[in-house]
Amino acid sequence: MATVINDRIDVRISREQKELIKYASELSGFKSLSEFIVFHIQTQANKIIKDSHTILNTMEDKKIFLEAILNPPAPNDALKKAHSNYLKFKEAQQSGNHKSTKNT
């Protein structure tokens, strides 16, 4: 069954972009440049949608995530301790780098 085409998208690209895409289309064996573009755009759109739904499946998930970004909770004791440990680690790394450069 043939696909009915009844809509259009106009896109302006540079000559170099068009030649690159046309070459890739020919290498891939597509019948036309339009077929190549539609195939890859649709494939990428489906991937983006799938990834979006995989990470945040429902509207409720999205609302919870957005709320956490816009109004993050105060750091708890474990996070404060982890931050302190990180700062100590970073300081030790920087001290170690200064020592090694002085010895060379």
18 Cα distance to chain centroid: 24
pLDDT in tens, 78-99: 999 999 999 999 999 998 876 5
C-beta separation of 22 from 33 below 8 A: yes
Quickly count: other Cβ atoms within 10 Å of residue 79's Cβ: 11
Average pLDDT of 9-32? 95
> 23 to each of 12, 16, 28, 74, how far by Cα in Å?
18, 11, 9, 54
Distance, in Å, from the CA atom of 81 to the CA atom of 103, rounded to the nearest integer, reads 33
pLDDT mean across residues, the chain: 88
Distance, in Å, from the CA atom of 80 to the CA atom of 33, rounded to the nearest integer, reads 56
pTM: 0.49
Q: Does the pLDDT of residue 35 top 60, yes or no?
A: yes
Which residues make Cβ contacts (< 8 Å) with residue 83, sequence separation at least 6?
Answer: 75
